[in-house]
Amino acid sequence: MSTITNSAPFPQKNLVTSLSWRENHPQLRERSTLRLVAGLSDGCPAWLIDRYGPGVTATHYGSTPKPEVMFENLQKLLPGEHLLFKFRDTDGRFDSLGTIEPWNCNSLGLKWEVRPDIRHDFGLFLDTHASRTWVNSVAKNKKILNLFSYTCGFGLVAAQGGAHQVTNIDASKDYLDWGRLNADLNGLDFRNFEDTVQKYMARHLRRLESSKDQAYDLIVADPPAFLVGRGDDRLGRKLWPKLLSQLKMTQAPLLLLINNDRSFLKKRSWLAFVAEHLPAYQLEVLPHSPDCLGQDPKGMDPHYTVPDVLIARRPLP
């Protein structure tokens, strides 16, 4: 192994152990796109490192006094065609070193474009891999609505899984266009609507009431922690009570509900919160993929935790 240059904090030993654990894990060793380091649960606090096929993105959330040295160390430990290192500068803002050109990876038998643009993440969130796997497994012949679709990841796996119809909703045309590119890469198709979820859901409910629209079989709700807007209006958590009420009114038999706000619900669980708003639904916690949980899932990183994911099923009448 190449000599690692000293730079604090750089958890070389734990990082190497984390890579080895995944290489030998029966559920992970055949995957080319996966999380390589999941923060404190892998003994590397403030670090998230993801492999996207031929490239790797490494994010350090803590203070990064010598980013050039850290980048050099990462190059030695993580050889590949592409490497992006995302870190906080002296003012606390994110900066990056390394790859600037997009590349393609494979996940769940699909091609995805990864973009090393630190302002917009990378196009594929690995901590919802298990959720995408589940959607793919239940999609056949279903009419599916994908809210807060970002780059249409859930829409893509639903289309691959044989969905009858897939509709993606996002307020950003750029993200929807990125999702359309991913669909074209795989010879798949779906419907995209540039709109806020609030406006779309209100319109959908009115159309349901007047029999101008048909109900969805599965609705995915995966809002970011922070939305476009100002002040408290940016907080995604403020949407949940009304959104859950709207989802209940759709009477969709299946819902996938994902909470990405790590500071939300400090005094009660996501399960209890959703149960209060959807009393008629049966709720099931969807386990995460082991690469995202890490070697010690109880090791809660102060900078990052995996999202809370629930499957909600409405019992047949």
Per-residue pLDDT of 256-309, as tens digits, reads 999 988 777 666 799 999 999 999 999 999 999 999 999 999 888 888 889 999
Strands (E), 118-158: 143-147
CA 197/CA 204 separation, integer angstroms: 10
Backbone angles phi, psi at 22, to 5 degrees: -70, -35
* pLDDT above 90 for 1: no
pLDDT at 97: 96
Instruction: Say which amino acid occupies 35.
Output: R
What average pLDDT does this structure show over 148-177?
97
CA 22/CA 37 separation, integer angstroms: 9
Tokens 């995996």 -> residue: 306
CA 103/CA 100 separation, integer angstroms: 10
pLDDT at 235: 56
* pLDDT above 90 for 54: yes
**To the nearest whole number, what is the mean pLDDT of the chain?**
91
Q: Across-strand partners of 257?
A: 221, 310
pLDDT, tens digit, for every residue of 241-250? 999 999 999 9
CA 305/CA 220 separation, integer angstroms: 20
Q: What are 37's two structure tokens?
A: 């380091």
Write down all domains in the chain, each with its CATH number in brackets.
12-114 (3.30.750.80), 126-313 (3.40.50.150)
* pLDDT above 90 for 233: no
Q: Which residues of 297-317 are buried (b: 16+ CB within 10 A; e: fewer)?
A: eebebeebebbbbbbbebeee
Least confident of 60-69, 212-221, 226-235: 226-235
* pLDDT above 70 for 3: no
Least confident of 20-29, 79-88, 184-193, 220-229: 220-229
pLDDT at 236: 56
* Residue 317 confidence class, pLDDT cut points 50, 70, 90: confident
Quote the percentage of the chain above a pLDDT of 70: 92
pTM given for the model: 0.92
* Residue 4 confidence class, pLDDT cut points 50, 70, 90: very low
* pLDDT above 70 for 9: no
pLDDT at 228: 55
- Using a CB cutoff of 8 Å and minimum separation of 24, what contacts does 1-6 make? 1/76, 1/77, 2/76, 2/77, 3/76, 4/73, 4/76, 4/77, 5/69, 5/72, 5/73, 6/69
CA 178/CA 21 separation, integer angstroms: 33
Q: What are 304's two structure tokens?
A: 């990052």
